[in-house]
């Protein structure tokens, strides 16, 4: 691309030329990234490769495999041996007491015990499955928060570069006043110092980008040094739910509450199982004694063994008390989780509403008014009616308000992401038109 400048451009101050070049670079900056970093692609990758999700998924699979084990009978026992009469010789078939022995036994729990053990395993498996769903939502929220932080830091750099052009205008006006004898050299140095302070802040923000990218790469399961790129432009997410509706939705859909509820159900089954242990189990045994064929008849034995819960006061009774205490703890934990979720919803909902009010204040009132004040101040400074410090203060206020606007925009999106994770709803609303 060929850029043509008029002859008069040769007489422009160096700072003005730099400002034009910077403005042109800012114009081309959005097109420098052919492939923007897409949030949905990061979410899809995180759900497939995040280590915490993979660990939770493996725990769910392991719990599912425990269910049929809990429902199965204990392994049967097989015994074989030989009984001889005396030590001097092999007396099989010579005496009636010399024999080969074969025995098979099977322990059978009292009816209902195996089904209770299976129910306990099923409830624990469902609790882990709900925890897995909760983990997925938390990772989604975490990826969104880091993505929004990365977006905000890039937006900060854009605003700093944009305002550097305005600082060039102040510097040019200061140089013109100094050249004409209307202003001191100190005003030129003041304007230049403010501009270089912005460059310092930009370098600090670049380092912050590297830190956020490392955390984002770790969350999605990539190498920390993997390149990410610039986030795409964000749209404002709408949330039309009331706080009471969000709390009700969370109680119905929250995987964390479901996990605690399933754990309570598992503990209830454990209490019933502990009470069943007062009832004895049975062991059936069948034995066959081979005593040498035709001379002595073989023998057959059928027996049943019953365990006697003789020490129930120190064993079975204590197991019931233990399981009941554990059940009470799980119920308190469920109620505590509900209270914590209600508090978190109120906190994030209030943050979202506060951010909306502040965004409207910055966008409609403070940013336009401060921008107008700056233009009036720079015009007045050129004619000597306004001091340099006033112009610089107006410009710093303009930059601060624009940064605050985008900061509140990001805080609102992060609050909505947290609400989605808490309530178990993947999307609380549609997206509005892109904010410019």
Looking at residue 193, what is its pLDDT?
A: 87
Q: Does 55 have pLDDT greater than 70? A: yes
Alpha carbon distances (Å) from 387 to 169, 183, 186, 369: 14, 9, 12, 19
Q: Give the pLDDT band of residue 24 (cuts 50, 70, 90).
A: very low
> Using an 8 Å Cβ cutoff, are 139 and 46 in contact?
yes
The whole-angstrom separation of Cα 391 and Cα 378 is 6
Q: What is 169-221 written as a DSSP string?
A: HHHHHHHHHHHTTSS-HHHHHHHHHHHHHHHHHHHHHHHHHHHHHHHHHHHHT
How does pLDDT run across 85-131, given as a tens digit for each residue? Answer: 888 888 888 888 888 999 999 999 999 999 999 999 999 999 999 99
Alpha carbon distances (Å) from 162 to 24, 399, 406: 11, 9, 15
Place of tokens 């019953």: 306
Closest CA to 122 of 320, 265, 294, 309: 265
Dihedral (CA of 362, 366, 372, 378) sign: negative
Pairing of strands 299-306, 431-434: unpaired
Q: How many C-beta atoms surround the C-beta of residue 151 within 10 A?
A: 22
DSSP state of 73: P
* CATH superfamily placement of domain 41-69+118-280+312-434: Outer membrane efflux proteins (OEP) (1.20.1600.10)
Alpha helices, H only, 286-434: 316-361, 367-382, 388-423
Round the average pLDDT of the chain to a whole number and report it.
86
Q: What is 273-284 written as a DSSP string?
A: HHHHTTSPPEEE
According to DSSP, the residues that pair with 285 across neighbouring strands are 105, 303
* Residues above pLDDT 90, as percent of the chain: 65
Alpha carbon distances (Å) from 376 to 75, 368, 394, 396: 91, 12, 10, 15
Looking at residue 191, what is its pLDDT?
A: 80
Looking at residue 181, what is its pLDDT?
A: 76
Q: Which two tokens stand for residue 144?
A: 């969104």
Q: How many C-beta atoms surround the C-beta of residue 332 within 10 A?
A: 11
Q: Does 217 have pLDDT greater than 70? A: yes
Q: Where are the domains of the chain?
A: 41-69+118-280+312-434
Looking at residue 185, what is its pLDDT?
A: 80
Q: How many C-beta atoms surround the C-beta of residue 63 within 10 A?
A: 19
Looking at residue 391, what is its pLDDT?
A: 86
Looking at residue 20, what is its pLDDT?
A: 46
Alpha carbon distances (Å) from 402 to 352, 358, 409: 18, 11, 11
Burial (Cβ within 10 Å: 0-12, 13-18, ≥19) of residue 307: exposed
Pairing of strands 282-290, 99-108: antiparallel
pTM for the predicted model, two decimal places: 0.81
Q: How many C-beta atoms surround the C-beta of residue 259 within 10 A?
A: 22
Looking at residue 142, what is its pLDDT?
A: 95
Closest CA to 358 of 401, 320, 309: 401
Q: Which two tokens stand for residue 182?
A: 């209307």
């Amino acid at each position: 691309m060929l850029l043509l400048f008029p002859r008069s451009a040769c007489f422009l101050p160096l700072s003005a030329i730099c400002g034009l070049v910077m403005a042109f670079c800012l114009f081309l900056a959005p097109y420098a990234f052919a492939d923007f970093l897409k949030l949905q692609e990061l979410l899809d990758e995180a759900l497939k490769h995040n280590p915490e999700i993979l660990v939770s998924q493996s725990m769910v699979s392991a719990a599912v495999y425990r269910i049929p084990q809990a429902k199965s009978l204990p392994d049967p026992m097989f015994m074989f041996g030989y009984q001889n009469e005396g030590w001097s010789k092999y007396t099989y078939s010579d005496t009636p007491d010399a024999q080969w022995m074969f025995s098979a036994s099977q322990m059978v729990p009292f009816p209902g015990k195996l089904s209770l053990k299976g129910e306990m395993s099923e409830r624990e498996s469902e609790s882990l499955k709900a925890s897995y769903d909760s983990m997925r939502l938390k990772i989604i929220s975490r990826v969104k928060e880091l993505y929004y932080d990365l977006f905000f830091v890039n937006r900060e750099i854009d605003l700093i570069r944009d305002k550097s052009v305005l600082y060039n205008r102040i510097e040019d006006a200061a140089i013109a006043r100094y050249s004409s004898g209307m202003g001191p050299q100190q005003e030129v140095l003041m304007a230049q110092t403010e501009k270089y302070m912005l460059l310092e802040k930009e370098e600090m923000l670049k380092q912050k980008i590297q830190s956020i990218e490392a955390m984002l790469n770790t969350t999605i399961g990539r190498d920390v040094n993997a390149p990410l790129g610039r986030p795409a432009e964000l749209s404002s997410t709408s949330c039309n739910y009331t706080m009471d509706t969000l709390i009700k939705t969370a109680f119905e859909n929250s995987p964390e509450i479901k996990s605690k509820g399933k754990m309570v159900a598992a503990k209830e089954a454990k209490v019933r199982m502990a009470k069943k242990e007062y009832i004895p189990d049975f062991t059936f045994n069948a034995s066959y004694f081979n005593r040498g064929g035709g001379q002595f008849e073989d023998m057959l034995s059928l027996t049943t063994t019953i365990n006697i819960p003789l020490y129930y006061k120190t064993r079975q009774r204590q197991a019931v008390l233990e399981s009941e205490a554990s059940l009470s703890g799980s119920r308190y934990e469920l109620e505590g989780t509900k209270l914590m979720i209600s508090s978190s919803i109120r906190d994030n909902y209030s943050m979202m509403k506060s951010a909306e009010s502040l965004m409207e204040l910055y966008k409609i009132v403070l940013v336009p008014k401060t921008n107008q004040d700056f233009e009036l101040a720079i015009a007045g400074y050129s004619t000597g009616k306004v001091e340099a410090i006033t112009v610089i203060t107006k410009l710093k206020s303009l930059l601060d308000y624009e940064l605050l606007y985008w900061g509140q925009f990001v805080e609102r999106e992060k609050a909505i992401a947290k609400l989605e994770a808490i309530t178990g709803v993947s999307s609380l609303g549609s997206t509005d038109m892109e904010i410019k």
